[in-house]
Amino acid sequence: MKAVNDKFKLEQPLWTMVLPIIAWIVFFIGEHTSWPLFFIISSIALIGGVLSAVHHAEVIAHRIGEPFGALVLALAVTVIEVSLIVSIMLAGGTDASTLARDTVFAAVMIILNGIVGLSIFVGGLKFKEQTFTLQAVSSVLTILVTISILTLILPNYTFAIIGPFYSTTQLLFVAIITLVLYGSFLFVQNIRHKDYFVVAEDEQEVHQAVPGKNAAILSGVYLMVCLGAVVFLAELLAPGLEHWITAVGAPVSLSGIIIACVVLLPEGLSAIKAAKSNQLQKSFNLSLGSALASIGLTIPTVSILSIFMGLPLTLGINSEATILFLLSLFIIFLSLSTGKTTILQGIVLMVLFCVYLFITIFP
């Protein structure tokens, strides 16, 4: 019984139950105050709600197992990302139609260059050389590149509507194709070729750490509480974020980077921690899987919402972003083509991430 209680405490840290309640309190207070400093407090509460939501989604995912566990976690992250995007889109603004594109593009660039680069660098510093399963990474990158090109680059070259847009028919078709590709990846990752993605040590660790039924039920309740707080706080913060970006003279695409950083924070920290523990395959599963979930679920969801809600949606990225994106894809394929990594690949990827941030702020 003592072991069970210890495991329950491990699965449900106190902060994961306190932060969602604080987030709701902050939201209710924020509804009745215009104090400028409260924007910062609300932002911190939002980040706390996101961290808590991802934790509880992971507890449920471990309890129900794969492939449904991965889907629960991906759906939770998608709800958070979509709520942030749609809240700001509904707040209006001349460039609101580009927010979904900017956020998804930022998420992919942050993961491919920032999180993966830092994970490789940190692991290389400590262990000199690390290994991973080449088939697993190749599978993720194949789907990721396909979906990215279809959603972020192809819209610039279609003729139905001039500009970086899809027509309604094209948008619906691409949304369906994207879901099919993401579903195919889940099938391969969790059923058909699960052995590619899980090394023996990780599989043993997963089996030993299956949460209890009570912990999973409690996490299910708290997950709903967290997601509700995140959605309402996002709606509360949307006008303030847009006003702040305009006031400092920053490009509107900065809002996409901010949203992506908030959404990717939990998985990013976990990926870097795994690399420091010499679990590079687990690190890539977390980071690259997050990139795939972000673009594979967010784009279809936002596309369908834009069709039914009549919201304008710009998908195609500009020429500068296209060059950086293609360069990032080329470098990530070269860096992960041998099944081994050193600090050199990490340094190159992190430099590309700095270039991306610089070009975004100073286009």
pLDDT > 90? residue 351 = yes
What is the predicted pLDDT for the residue at 330?
93
| Between residues 163 and 208, the one the model is more confident about | 163
Mean pLDDT of 323-329: 93
253-276 helix and 68-90 helix, angle to the nearest 10 degrees: 150
Which pLDDT belongs to residue 8? Answer: 43
272: domain CATH number is 1.20.1420.30
Take residue 100 and report the two structure tokens written for it.
Answer: 């979904």
Q: Is the pLDDT of residue 40 over 70?
A: yes
Task: Find the domain containing 223 and state its range.
Answer: 2-361
Q: How far apart are alpha carbons 267 and 61 in whole angstroms?
A: 14
Would you state the pLDDT for residue 144? Answer: 92
Average pLDDT for residues 113-118, to the nearest whole number? 93
What's the mean pLDDT when you consider all of the chain?
82
Residue 2: its pLDDT value, please? 39
Question: How far is residue 217 from each of residues 23, 59, 190, 274, 325, measured CA to CA in Å?
Answer: 21, 10, 23, 27, 41
The number of distinct structural domains making up the chain is 1
| pTM as predicted | 0.83
User: Phi/psi of residue 341, each to 5°?
Assistant: -135, 155
131 - beta bridge partners?
340
List, in sequence order, every beta strand (DSSP E) within the chain: 130-131, 340-341
pLDDT surpasses 90 at 30: no
Average of pLDDT values for 228-233? 83
- How far apart are the C-alpha atoms of 35 and 44, rounded to whole Å? 15
pLDDT in tens, 49-99: 888 888 888 788 777 765 466 567 677 777 778 877 877 777 655 467 788
Q: Which residues partner with 341 through β-bridges? A: 130
User: What is the pLDDT confidence band of residue 202, given thresholds at 50, 70 and 90?
Assistant: low
pLDDT-derived band at 6 (thresholds 50, 70, 90) equals: very low
What's residue 95's pLDDT? 63
**pLDDT, tens digit (0-9, with 9 covering 90-100), for 238-296:** 777 777 777 777 777 787 888 888 888 887 888 888 899 898 888 888 888 888 888 88
Please state, in angstroms and rounded to a whole number, the distance separating the CA atoms of residues 98 and 116: 26
Please say if the pLDDT value at position 227 is more than 70.
yes
As a whole number of Å, the CA-based R_g of the chain is 20
1, two tokens: 């019984």
| Torsion of the alpha carbons at 99, 85, 273 and 348, rounded to the nearest 10 | 0
pLDDT of residue 344: 94
